[in-house]
Amino acid sequence: MFLDIFQFDFMIRAMVVGAIIAVIAPIIGIFLVVRNYSQLADTLAHVSLVGIAIGVLTHSSPILFALGVTIISALGIEYLRSTHKIYGESVLAIFLSGSLGIATLIISAGRGFSVDLFGFLFGSLTTVTTADLIMAIGLGILVLILVGGFYRELFMISLDEELARVGGIRTRLFSTLLIVLSAVAVTLSMRIIGVLLIGSLIVIPVISAMQFRKGFLHTMLLAVLFSFVSVVLGIFLSYYADLASGGTIVLITLVLFLTSLFFNKK
């Protein structure tokens, strides 16, 4: 009875995609949080709405369009940030509100896809397709390989960009890699948790893990654990209690965060 949930193919798909994003969201998230770039995830999530809107309007894959639009925007954000043309947070504000405006325009042009859109905004387990699953597995593995392979470089540019440069690390290249990986993580997460709630999965488990005041790798693994528990438990709860999956997951991340505050002895 407890495992009823696995009778449905879409729930199995949702669970697998959920597990993948639960692992990669905080792995990318920790680099964003320590670089004071937490807002990036939220910004990219809003940007992805433009892609979703185009995808839905043209009856093609919203996720693929979202991936394309978020990666291009991520590159734009990184360019403006690294050339110091615009101050970091202002760049994010421009992309966040600007893309929301464009998405609204496209959505209003193609009246009648509000039901689909609701799922993307707040997450909907039933909408996870086989194509989403395959993409999540492929991109999930790619993210793990890239972060694993360039762990030292990503750690260094996060600790101190100048020191990294002096140490011969191509900081621009790795900052760009990180931001593109963020775009991938955001796009993968939106089916399950929804565009408006993605930021929380990328950021909250990391901040919770940081309360334990451990080393970088430990903090990362702890964040993955918190995120994994939140997503899996969230999917179960949302299925049996008929709740919105995204909201349930975020609520669990918040409970874990509040609990972790007690462990910070500082």
CA distance 46 to 14: 22
Compute CA distances 53 → 5, 22, 66, 254, whole Å: 30, 25, 8, 30
Residue 101 as a binder of another protein (CB under 8 A): the answer is no
Query: What is the DSSP code (8-state) at residue 5?
Result: G
Compute CA distances 43 → 9, 47, 55, 195, 253, whole Å: 32, 6, 19, 10, 20
Residue 160 as a binder of another protein (CB under 8 A): the answer is yes
253 HSE (CA, 13 A, CB side): 30
Measured in residues, the chain has a length of 266
* Among 43, 39, 49, residue whose Cα is nearest residue 118: 49
Of 47 and 207, which CB lies nearer to another protein in the complex structure?
207
The answer to whether residues 154 and 16 touch, using CB atoms and an 8 Å cutoff, is no
Q: If 0-12 CB within 10 Å is exposed, 13-18 middle and 19+ buried, where does residue 47 land?
A: buried
Of 211 and 238, which CB lies nearer to another protein in the complex structure?
211
Residue 219 as a binder of another protein (CB under 8 A): the answer is yes
CB of 50 to another protein, least distance (A): 32
Select from 53-61, 130-138, 155-163, 172-180 the region that touches another protein (CB under 8 A): 155-163
Of 73 and 175, which CB lies nearer to another protein in the complex structure?
175
From 122, 155, 174, 226, residue interacting with another protein (rule: CB under 8 A): 155
Select from 71-79, 87-95, 132-140, 166-174 the region that touches another protein (CB under 8 A): 166-174
CA distance 45 to 69: 10
Binding to another protein (CB under 8 A) within 1-40 occurs at 30, 34-36
Select from 40-48, 94-102, 214-222, 241-249 the region that touches another protein (CB under 8 A): 214-222
CB of 92 to another protein, least distance (A): 18
Of 65 and 174, which CB lies nearer to another protein in the complex structure?
174
CB of 100 to another protein, least distance (A): 29
- Judged by the rule CB under 8 A, the positions of this chain that interact with another protein are 30, 34-36, 152, 155-156, 158-160, 162-163, 165-168, 209-210, 213-217, 219
